Amino acid sequence: MTDQVNPPQRTLMGPGPSDIHPSVLAALAAPTVGHLDPYFLQIMDEVQQMLREVFQTENQMTMAISGTGSAGMETCVVNLVEPRDKVIVCQNGVFGGRMADVARRAGGDVTVLERPFGEVFSADEIAAAVDQHKPKVVGIVHAETSTGALQPLEEISRIVHDAGALLLVDCVTSLGGLPVSIDAVGIDAAYSGTQKCLSCPPGLAPVTFSPRALEAMDARSNAVSSWYLDISMLRNYWGADRAYHHTAPINMNYALHQALRLVLDEGLENRFARHRQHHEALKAGLEALGISYSVTEPSHRLPMLNSVLIPEGIDDGQVRSQLLNEFGIEIGGGLGPMKGKTWRIGLMGEAASSTNVLSFLAAVDQCLAAQRQSAPTGAGTAAASAVYLNS
């Protein structure tokens, strides 16, 4: 039995959670106040306002659900989908599959559009499916953490709206690292998590709903099947009434407040550019080490989640253990059908730094050399350094 929690210091370069700024950890340790204390109500207001800025939306109904990203997913789905409602879910990875499962459990009449892992959906195939099935909701993942694929949304949004449907988007991995542009793109409902590019511990799920999404909820004929996630009640807690619904995780909201402040102090555009820059350096380094991306189309690669093919003859588990045990670096293995085939290297939020990129490239070079019984080449760090020098 551990008598005092004393976790090892890790560099979190996996699919989340990501490295956390010390001031966010300090906020977690601040004194707990009551959940209806005027101080906490002000924190809630400010969290909502900062979330609107990060989501790039004016949506009044923007808040943090108490729970992880999956709770955000369930909140969006169970409030928008009633039994027998037609729903299209686009599945090109694990999280699209999870959304389809949640929509079925909500009683939806779900059609799953499938694409191989690592590919994205074209506007034409969505248009054909929408035309055929006439759904109420179309759900899609913006940044598929299981594959490293970035889904373009603009044209899909137009198609979904022209058909009178609602667009639901998973922004768990993209929020804070890529523009999600809720209002400009026309997304009706979106959810995220705190532990990816917001660099906060896991535990809250930012969500946002457009006025159209709220109208659809108001027009429901059945009560939402989840009491905890029912927006019609949560609206009164996070809205002007502040009517008790549940005891919000106070200290997690402090942490999210501080994490959002850091995001906005940096500036969204600067933050997006930082993710892009370190992705470019990492990519150059990986390619110099002979490691290639599993998403073949460069414009569809996520900057914050680099999914790469494990080189031939290299033992996946051994490399990841060596990275963790010898260098304190966590990266992710492949999920679902990608298990044993890919590594997922995260550059999320605080973790998107030259220190992390260069340390990881030096460490993985050592791990590969150990298995090949050769000397490390240094080619990865050299190539990444060249990108930094030229940027």
Ligand X SMILES: Cc1ncc(COP(=O)(O)O)c(C=O)c1O
The one among 108, 118, 176, 193 contacting ligand X by CB under 6 A: 193
User: Which residues in the 308-337 window bind ligand X by CB under 6 A?
Assistant: none
The one among 57, 173, 253, 322 contacting ligand X by CB under 6 A: 173
| Cβ-based nearer residue to ligand X, 105 or 242 | 105
Q: Which residues is 150 bridged to in the sheet? A: 143
Size of the site for ligand X (CB under 6 A): 14
State the Rg of the chain over Cα: 21
**Residue 172, interface with ligand X (CB under 6 A)?**
yes
- Region near ligand X per CB under 6 A, out of 63-71, 153-161, 280-288, 294-302: 63-71
| Cβ-based nearer residue to ligand X, 57 or 307 | 307
- Region near ligand X per CB under 6 A, out of 28-36, 45-53, 66-74, 113-121: 66-74
- Region near ligand X per CB under 6 A, out of 33-41, 69-77, 156-164, 349-357: 69-77
Nearest distance, CB of residue 16 and ligand X, angstroms: 5
Element (DSSP H or E) covering residue 140:
strand 137-141
The one among 55, 95, 117, 360 contacting ligand X by CB under 6 A: 95
**Residue 55, interface with ligand X (CB under 6 A)?**
no
Which residue of this chain has its Cβ atom nearest to ligand X in the complex?
69
| Cβ-based nearer residue to ligand X, 157 or 195 | 195
Rounded to an integer, what distance in angstroms lies between the CA atom of residue 219 and that of residue 186?
20
Nearest distance, CB of residue 100 and ligand X, angstroms: 12
Q: Count of alpha carbons within 13 Å of 173, Cβ hemisphere only? A: 28
Rounded to an integer, what distance in angstroms lies between the CA atom of residue 112 and that of residue 127?
14
Nearest distance, CB of residue 109 and ligand X, angstroms: 23
Report DSSP state, residue 77: H
Element (DSSP H or E) covering residue 79:
helix 69-80
- 144, 149, 153, 155 alpha-carbon torsion, rounded to 10°: -140
**Residue 16, interface with ligand X (CB under 6 A)?**
yes
Tokens of 101: 């499962």
Rounded to an integer, what distance in angstroms lies between the CA atom of residue 54 and that of residue 183?
12
Q: 258: Cβ–Cβ under 8 A, 6 or more apart, which residues? A: 21, 23, 24, 26, 27, 200
List, in sequence order, the alpha helices (H) in 228-348: 231-238, 250-266, 268-288, 316-327
Nearest distance, CB of residue 205 and ligand X, angstroms: 7
Nearest distance, CB of residue 195 and ligand X, angstroms: 6
| Cβ-based nearer residue to ligand X, 84 or 339 | 339
End-to-end CA distance of the chain: 49
User: Which residues in the 72-91 window bind ligand X by CB under 6 A?
Assistant: 73
**Residue 176, interface with ligand X (CB under 6 A)?**
no
**Residue 118, interface with ligand X (CB under 6 A)?**
no
Tokens of 315: 């033992």
**Residue 170, interface with ligand X (CB under 6 A)?**
yes
- Torsion-angle region of 293 (φ positive above 0: left; ψ -120 to 50: alpha; else: beta): beta
Burial 131-168 (b: 16+ CB within 10 A, else e): eebebbbbbbbbbbbbbbbbbebeebbebbeebebbbb
Q: Which residues bind ligand X (CB under 6 A)?
A: 15-16, 68-70, 73, 95, 141, 145, 170, 172-173, 193, 202
